[in-house]
Amino acid sequence: MTDLAGDNVVDAASPGLLRRIRSRMPLLVICGAGWLALMIFAAISTDLLRPYPVTKMDLSARLAVPGTPGHWLGTDELGRDVLSRLMESIRVSLVIAFGATVLSAVFGTTLGFLAARFRGIVEHLVLTLADFQAALPFMILSLSVLAFFGSSMTLLVLLMSFYGWERYARIARGLAISAGAQGYAAAVVQLGATPARVYLKHILPNVASTIIVSMTLTFPEIILMESGLSFLGLGVQPPDTSLGNMVGFGREYLTRAPWVMLAPAFVIMLTTLSISVVGDWLRDRLDPTVR
Amino acid sequence: MTALLEARDLVRVYEISRGLWKKPTLVRAVDRVSLSLSAGETLGVVGESGSGKSTLGRMLLGIDPATEGQVVFDGQPMPAMGTTEWRRLRAQMQLVFQDPLAALDRRLSIAEQIGEPLVIHGLATKSEVKERVAELMSAVGLRSDQAGRYPHELSGGQRQRVIIARALATEPRLLVCDEPVSALDVSIQAQVVNLLRDLQEKHGIAMVFISHDLKVVRNITDRVAVMYLGRIVEEASSDVIFTHPQHPYTRALVSSVPVPGRKLEARIILQGEPPNPARRPAGCAFHPRCPVVLPSCRTSAPKLGAVGTGHIAACHLIAQSDAPLVA
Amino acid sequence: MSYVYRSGHMLSFFLSRMLRAAITILLVMTFAFCVLRLSGDPAQILLGPDAPQDAIEAFRERWGLNDPIVVQYWAYLKSLWSLDFGVSMRDKSPALQLVLERIPTTLQLTIPALILKVGIGIPAGVYAALHRQSIADRGVIMMAVFGFTIPSFVVGLLLVLIFSVTLGWLPSGGQDTWMHGILPTLTMSIGGIGILARFSRSAMIEVLGQPYIRTASAKGMSWRDVVWKHALPNASVPIVTIVGFMIGSLIAGAVVVETIFSWPGVGRLLVVSVSNRDLAVVQCLLLVIAGTMVLANLAVDIMYGWLDPRLRSKSAAH
């Protein structure tokens, strides 16, 4: 028994691993996962690796063409290094999107569980709120809130964390109700468990995979939403930088220096594309009930 | 002997919604049922689907609230569902489910699930739980190497054994088994029934055994109550029900149970539609299907009356005869 | 979305949906009120930090900003009821009028874009479903993935880069000739075509796998008839949902695109009013936008009942 387990470990670490991954993941998924790994690496190591400080201006080298030694992705209108700013932007955008996705999942799942636990008026309230959320385009809602409260990073993350909560709430509520109707949850209630135990120890682990699957759908949407707002100048504010806000500022120099806008635009495209490809693949693996 | 469990005039009414603007239909799933159970005694509850037997079982445990009437356990009225006292009482009374797979959490190992009642009620330390789980598993005939398995890796019979082990973990005084074997293969049914009987005898647990199948009940119960459309129509000791059934419905049920050495010739086949609780016939609810129906059966409902010692039945035919038919 | 179709009565179904729609609108109004009133002092914002104190006081008095919040809310609801959405704090013209003026301009972009989405997306999706694994099918999937993952501002800027900057064929902004409308319309429709194609494709594939389709073709019905008479009508339910959503966003869906192409529509007005903190106009826009969304959702629900009689009688688990 122990011998067998040992063999497995050795096997997993051997060069066969690559081939094994290949046989289980399509090429596209590998590319997607690779790109995402690169993005995460860039986000984490930006403080160590970026060639210049984000706001360092080099007025002698304004709008330098990509490929210029020292500025491999060129510079912008103030002579700031595009690569350095891009790495910082990746970090900001990913952190916002990740934080917001997690908050939204926690918020939505909690409301869904509350609706399932108390039914009646609580449930009606949650469903009405979900309807309200569906009736108002999120972009419009965010625009009004951001503009009137002024834009700050905290507010932006908080706002983004309302994105998609109603999906989690609906999923969590539906699964919890069906588990409670005659399933394992009813059995545990009957054993004398407190509601907290029923929901946290039994229902939550059972709905987790479905929730994670929804998170892979929400994550790229939040990236798009944040970059859209920043593009309009209402999201991340200078001197902070994010992918959307780089595209927004790069737009002014579209004719003379398209690279300032193209670099972050491609990063956004490839990142959201990779997440959906990898997410689709994960979805098929993790949860055969959600297609 | 004082009763461990007593049910007094239990009524359960469900509302069935027929539309937003229409008045909901009221369905009496359980209608004025009284019974009592002594410690260590087993009571069989038999009836077709729709007879209210499962609802009755849930009401006895306090999982389904009584619309009228009350359940008294150990001299105390049943606390409201979800209260702390109600939760504490769960250690005393347990349920064995019809569908063991649905009643188990598919993400926890069976050892963890068997020990869960002990953890919930704070009855044992970590190492004690482990020890107790091993004991329980061997008591219900599960191998110790199966402890780490997950529900979907076991067979139907094994899963039901897990449920039984979990139900017994807190050493309850009352066990309600709701069709515990109807989802199992016939070959496994006898094993599980025998297991339940052995455990019941060994631990002196009072048991309510609910089934649609008289022959399953026969081997395990002291007394049998026959239900039809939410009411008990006959109740007697297990032997008397099988040898001297009085109610025409009970007779029909008994006649369909094969007995070694007896031909099935006398089998009474019930005519008519199976009972629908939403459309209860007037008078005696059984009259549309009764082979010996009287005119009065269509208008007035018979009351439960004594037929012999410890034997009651509700039928106009029996009430009319002066002498009890019991030998 | 979980809707309750408890009874077979179309009327009660209709009424309950109306009620939900009304509650939603009321919630949006309350939300608008709360956000806009609690966000800061509009007098200060509009008159600037250097404004004299008596000017600020006069302003607050005039707009009722000194009353308790409940009084303000009640006055607000009353004025909405009489279609009085307030006056733009900038140029003193009625907010509703400002918004209504912009709607046709936006529709000049969004309606052609909707026609393109429906006219290309649905046939492409259906074609892909009928020819699975073909090159066309793969193309549709690719297109759909791009539609989901590329933000419209990137698409718009790429189109400008190609057709205006590099090739010089089309203008990059403004609203003077029909030529100006081409790039924004294209930008808006590309994503939608992909989304609609993907939904139509999966809806058709789902329907084509159903037993009644196999039965119909086994009975000797021609494939063309099977597709037109059985598959398409049944696949239309999910497609209608998406189209309904697109119709709902006819007014609001162009915020980013109008900004890129300097198109003076509703979206532009929203961004500008938001930057200027023009309360009345933003409130009015919020309500008009939410109103169209709710109406479109309501229409979709009623379409469902009409398209699929089963949904009316089905007591969907609430």
The Cβ-side half-sphere exposure at B62, using a 13 Å CA radius, reads 29
- This model of the complex carries an ipTM of 0.81
A272/chain C closest Cα distance in angstroms: 5
- Tell me, what's the pLDDT at A131? 77
* Contact check, Cβ <8 Å, B116/A194: no
Reply yes or no on whether the pLDDT at B163 is more than 90. yes
B253/chain A closest Cα distance in angstroms: 29
Q: Which residues of C touch B19 (CB under 8 A)?
A: 6-9, 12
Residue C312 forms contact with B (CB below 8 Å): no
Instruction: Assign C49 a pLDDT band (cuts: 50, 70, 90).
Output: low
Residue C17 forms contact with B (CB below 8 Å): no
Q: Mutate which of C146, C153, C206 to test chain A, going by most A C-beta atoms within 10 A?
A: C153
CATH classification at residue C219 = 1.10.3720.10
Tell which wins on pLDDT, B147 or C35: B147
User: What's the Cα-to-Cα distance from B39 to each of B4, B36, B172, rounded to whole Å?
Assistant: 5, 10, 11
**Three-state secondary-structure class, residue A192:** coil
Count of other CB atoms within 10 angstroms of residue B298? 13
Give the residue ranges of chain A where pLDDT is below 70.
1-25, 59, 61, 63-64, 67-71, 147, 182, 286-291
- Tell me, what's the pLDDT at B173? 92
This prediction's pTM = 0.76
Percent with pLDDT over 90 in chain C: 1
Reply yes or no on whether the pLDDT at C150 is more than 70. yes
Q: What is the pLDDT of residues C19-42, one digit of tens each?
A: 878 888 888 888 877 776 666 666
- Tell me, what's the pLDDT at C308? 59
Nearest residue on chain C to A167, alpha-carbon basis: C1
Reply yes or no on whether the pLDDT at C241 is more than 70. yes
- Lowest-confidence pick of B300-309, C51-60, C125-134, C148-157: C51-60
Buried-exposed string A24-48: b where 16+ CB fall within 10 A, e elsewhere: ebeeebbbbbebbeebeebbeebee
Domain count, chain C: 1
Average pLDDT of chain B to the nearest whole number:
86
Which segments of chain B are extended strands (E)? 3-16, 25-38, 42-46, 68-73, 76-77, 93-96, 174-178, 206-211, 223-228, 231-237, 305-308, 311-313
Nearest residue on chain C to B21, alpha-carbon basis: C12
Residue B61 forms contact with A (CB below 8 Å): yes
Nearest residue on chain A to C250, alpha-carbon basis: A137
Q: Which residues of C touch B20 (CB under 8 A)?
A: 4, 6-7, 9, 12-13, 16
Q: State phi, psi for B10 to the nearest 5 degrees.
A: -70, 135
In a domain, C295, yes or no: yes
Q: What is the DSSP string of A121-176?
A: HHHHHHHHHHHHHHHS-HHHHHHHHHHHH---HHHHHHHHTTTTHHHHHHHHHHHH
In a domain, C37, yes or no: no
User: What's the Cα-to-Cα distance from C188 to each of C155, C168, C249, C291, rounded to whole Å?
Assistant: 9, 21, 12, 22
Indicate the domain borders of chain A. Answer: 27-286
Average pLDDT of chain C to the nearest whole number:
77
Rounded Cα–Cα distance for residues B14 and B28 (Å): 6
Q: What is the pLDDT of residues B89-142, one digit of tens each?
A: 999 999 998 888 888 988 889 999 999 999 999 888 888 899 999 999 999 989
Q: What is the pLDDT of residues A38-50, one digit of tens each?
A: 888 888 887 777 7
Over residues C261-274, the mean pLDDT reads: 85
In a domain, C39, yes or no: no
Instruction: Assign C303 a pLDDT band (cuts: 50, 70, 90).
Output: confident
- Tell me, what's the pLDDT at B37? 92
Q: Which residues of A touch C46 (CB under 8 A)?
A: none
Contacts of C233 (CB under 8 A, 6+ apart): C307
Reply yes or no on whether the pLDDT at C314 is more than 50. no
B170/chain A closest Cα distance in angstroms: 10
Residue C16 forms contact with B (CB below 8 Å): yes
Instruction: Assign C4 a pLDDT band (cuts: 50, 70, 90).
Output: very low
Rounded Cα–Cα distance for residues A185 and A202 (Å): 7
- Tell me, what's the pLDDT at A230? 84
**Three-state secondary-structure class, residue A99:** helix
Q: Which residues of C touch A170 (CB under 8 A)?
A: 1-2
Which segments of chain C are extended strands (E)? none
- Tell me, what's the pLDDT at C214? 77
* Contact check, Cβ <8 Å, B20/C8: no
* Contact check, Cβ <8 Å, C9/B18: no
A175/chain B closest Cα distance in angstroms: 13
Q: Which residues of C touch B24 (CB under 8 A)?
A: none
Structural domains in chain B plus CATH codes: 3-92+172-319 (3.40.50.300), 100-171 (no CATH)
CA-based nearest residue to A245, from A89, A61, A112, A69: A89
Over residues C204-231, the mean pLDDT reads: 78
In a domain, C166, yes or no: yes
Domain span at residue C229 reads: 95-317
Cα A57–A60–A63 angle (5° rounding)?
75
User: What's the Cα-to-Cα distance from A25 to each of A278, A280, C200, C266, rounded to whole Å?
Assistant: 10, 12, 27, 46
Nearest Cβ partner of B17 from C6, C9, C12? C6
Reply yes or no on whether the pLDDT at C307 is more than 70. no
CATH code, A27-286:
1.10.3720.10
Nearest Cβ partner of C165 from A135, A232, A255? A255
Reply yes or no on whether the pLDDT at B196 is more than 60. yes
Rounded Cα–Cα distance for residues A186 and A177 (Å): 10
Nearest residue on chain A to B121, alpha-carbon basis: A192
Instruction: Assign C136 a pLDDT band (cuts: 50, 70, 90).
Output: confident
- Tell me, what's the pLDDT at C316? 35
Q: Mutate which of C5, C9, C17 to test chain B, going by most B C-beta atoms within 10 A?
A: C9
Q: What is the pLDDT of residues B90-103, one digit of tens each?
A: 999 999 988 888 88
- How does strand B68-73 pair with strand B3-16? antiparallel
* Contact check, Cβ <8 Å, B18/C7: yes
Q: Which residues of C touch B17 (CB under 8 A)?
A: 6
Q: Using CA atoms of C136, C137, C143, C148 in order, give the dihedral in degrees to the nearest 10.
A: 170
DSSP code at position A59: G
- Number of H-type helices and E-type strands within chain A: 13, 0
Q: Is the distance from CB of A259 to CB of A66 less than 8 angstroms?
A: yes
Contacts of C48 (CB under 8 A, 6+ apart): none
